[in-house]
Amino acid sequence: MTSFSRPTLRLALLILATLTTIYAEGAEVPLFDGKTLDGWEGNRAVWRVEAGAIAGGSMNGNPRNEFLATTNRYRNFILRLEYRIVGSEGFVNGGVQFHSVRLADPEFEMSGYQADIGPDRSGNLYDESRRRKALVQADKVLVAQIEKPGDWNRYEIRCDGPRIRLTLNDRLVADYLEKDPAIPLEGLIALQIHGNNKAVAAYRNISIDISPDTVRPGGFTAIPRHDEEALAAAKFAVTAHDPKLKFEGIEKVERQIVAGTNYRLTLKVSDNGKERRANAVVWRKLDGQNALTSWMWLEGASAKEGEK
């Protein structure tokens, strides 16, 4: 048996604890250190770091599309960043690629999903160099109300199996379910400055929250009880079953990606002052509406069961 000195053992445990923290579920980590392009690859004549942000393009002109891509691939995640795009002429446009690949011909292009950025396009989910169309077109009236042209805006890109959601300045602008099994659900993340313009796209505060690779279409997967949409589904279930019931909490929640999302819930409710438990399934449709598809009382079970 190999023996270790106490300092060596302490160092090994410290390294293990650090790695556990970095890769733990729900741990948000930066993709950009604010100073260098470490972890990214692309044309360094186009991409640079300016004032704590990644900037791409020039006000003197951009002859072609350019992408700065991560060196790692990602599948299920929540990507958060801020963007700003300014331009004087041409097709002023940028975007955030994800689940993407670099093309061999032309070598400067990428293929995959894009969270679009630019006049009349911010908030759209676009399929770059593949289906070449907007898979979801954001509500232009809403985007005009919430986006700050020429200033910093917040983007959140949430990939959960085949479901993709884009949030712009804290408002949901795209909710898409990929139905084509041939479309890859993993790949590179990249920043874009479009060609045929005089513009600069900048990106900062880039971080990612990686989710476990366990979500599959057709199967239920356990998720945290404090998930906001699950909590909303639970409260809806109680009111939809009987408005006289009082919602007390969630013991367990599972999620199934379908044409929308099914939430399978174990609930605690107050029924005329008596604590009871029930199982319910709520279908959250793609349009955001909920429907209660099943309800079953769990008679005789302790209200505190499952809270260990």
> What pLDDT, on the 0 to 100 scale, is given for residue 259?
67
Least confident of 82-91, 196-205, 242-251, 277-286: 277-286
| Cα torsion 145, 148, 149, 153: sign | negative
> 73 has which bridge partners?
188
Least confident of 8-17, 114-123, 201-210, 277-286: 8-17
Q: Are 198 and 93 in contact (CB under 8 A)?
A: no
Residue 98, both tokens: 């994800």
> 83 has which bridge partners?
153, 203
**Nearest residue to 175 (alpha-carbon basis) of 263, 99, 287, 97:** 287
Query: What would be the CATH architecture of the domain defined by 220-297?
Result: Roll (3.10)
Q: Work out the number of other CB atoms within 10 angstroms of the CB of residue 293.
A: 13
Convert the pLDDT of each residue in 275-301 to its tens digit: 999 999 998 887 788 999 889 998 644
Fold of 26-210: Jelly Rolls (2.60.120)
> What pLDDT, on the 0 to 100 scale, is given for residue 6?
56
Residues in Cβ contact with 34 at an 8 Å cutoff, skipping those fewer than 6 apart: 49, 52, 204
Would the pLDDT of 11 be above 90? no
The CA-based diameter of the chain, rounded to the nearest angstrom, is 74
The span from the CA of 39 to the CA of 68, in Å, is: 10
Q: How confident is the model at residue 13 (pLDDT cuts 50, 70, 90)?
A: very low
Convert the pLDDT of each residue in 140-167 to its tens digit: 999 999 999 999 999 999 998 899 999 9
What average pLDDT score do residues 256-282 get?
89
Q: How confident is the model at residue 307 (pLDDT cuts 50, 70, 90)?
A: very low
Convert the pLDDT of each residue in 162-216 to its tens digit: 999 999 999 999 999 998 888 989 999 999 999 999 999 999 999 999 886 544 5
Give counts: helices (H), strands (E), the chain. 3, 20
Where in the chain are the domains?
Answer: 26-210, 220-297
How many residues appear in the chain?
308
What average pLDDT score do residues 228-234 get?
92
Phi and psi for 235 in degrees, rounded to 5?
-65, -40
Convert the pLDDT of each residue in 58-72 to its tens digit: 999 999 999 999 999
Q: Name the region of 215 (left: φ>0; alpha: ψ -120 to 50; beta: rest).
A: beta
> What pLDDT, on the 0 to 100 scale, is given for residue 222?
86
Tell me the one-letter amino acid at 63. P
> What pLDDT, on the 0 to 100 scale, is given for residue 282?
92
The span from the CA of 193 to the CA of 44, in Å, is: 13
How much of the chain is in helix, strand and coil states, percent to nearest 5?
A: 15, 50, 35
pTM over 0.75: no
